[in-house]
Structure 1
């Protein structure tokens, strides 16, 4: 390339025109057209932005101001600063709810992920009536949580329920699943896994569908066992979808109010009370808006931190 051609290319590059362009600057008509398109874009997008701000940003700001006051449902109250946050973290009920929230979330996330992944792998094989089987597996997720909670209450709530009768017939005595604190916690966690594994199954099924079959064939040729194929090929190849499903399920578990409230109401003796249930009871039963909203804000901060850490793991994933 000659010196003149290089100089011409640099000039065209500065003017925003490539080598294949004509080198002609945009005309006044083109400029006016671009300005018109930009204005039209702003005109159509601005209402959506305003609506988004009104529906999301304003309630968050208003709730943040409420968490700094000692008001109730009727009055805003006086400004108390961070006293609501300090008072809540000093109560045993907060830390008990926080501990059970962690347990409930860990069991819900990894329990539903393990079952969902196992079923997704099973559905990749040829099984009789696979389509019907897949539809039936989606029922716990499709059915409204009110119906599922009512069904589980019928199964375990009273001594006349089927599972307590079965436990007594097996010689385990009078087992009250929702009256014993430990059994109530186990029941709530199992219920969360039950209604969540179909979502994980769908996420993992879509992730497995994107894995190239030739990779598995090459691993068989190399003599890899099924366990080695699963650990060194399947899990790394679906890691992005796995992290995304963990983020979503963590948010679902931490913010899951109806599952616990409909099944146990947070009892017995607050043993199944999570932070979201504690926030609800603080605001709508004890009429303490500031402390209740403060709990919700602390939950939000923790969720943002967890989501950020998992999102960084997604960006680190390198699939070759």
Structure 2
């Protein structure tokens, strides 16, 4: 090769290299465009804001527990002795007799441990089923008890996952408002045979036994539910006192607070509302003992959007403030 052809060959090589580089970059851009640009994610993959990882602490603890719940996750109906033993263990813990509570609960393979909400530093006793991690979980649920304040009220989540994100509302409420007990059902409401796992309508569950123990102690409660958008299309929330009227004052306060925050509430004690919880067995037990009980159905945006959920929790926390003074 002479001195005149060498620069030409070099130039051709450089030109070929540049062309390859441009092509590779173009392919990378095209690959990104084909997977993302102009495509709307499917409903299964479009996550609402609150579906991102929750903040560390109690909410993360509870959502990790409920993450595996589905209609096929299984449920075993507890015996009367099982139910009474768990409720008695919760009662002993509320009386400050933790050692006795642990011994009693161990009879049905439940245990107590202390968890700390990293966001607030508050401590909670977690009463949990040791069988949860086994191949056939019983689905009997968990109980969380505030260890840093006198217990004055309860929050109840009977349909975690099935009523989407109600477990998060419960966790956020317990973290935000001192003096609470949170009861979370241990299975999807359709996990058992027939309606066995639908604890809001069954008296033969650990969930009901614990709620009944709290009612026996006079603790008012709020039960958190989630309704579909078309269940009450003109309302964001349905608030009810169940079959009784012991919590009408608290119900009005909750509805007024939510209205000020921009939400429309159907007030079941004053008018006909869907999903008013008249057949709810925990509400009936509370009414039988003249204990205040609120049954609250939240529409999708108040559960699936973290900002709206925060407004709902703030309004609920205001209600518990009244109960804490009682």
TM tier, shorter chain?
A: under 0.3
- Normalised by the size of structure 1, how large is the TM-score? 0.23
Determine which structure has the larger helix proportion and give its number. 1
Choose 1 or 2 for highest CA Rg: 1
Q: Which has the higher contact order (CA 8 A, sep 6+)?
A: 1
Per the normalisation by structure 2, the TM-score is 0.23
Identify the structure with the greater strand proportion.
2
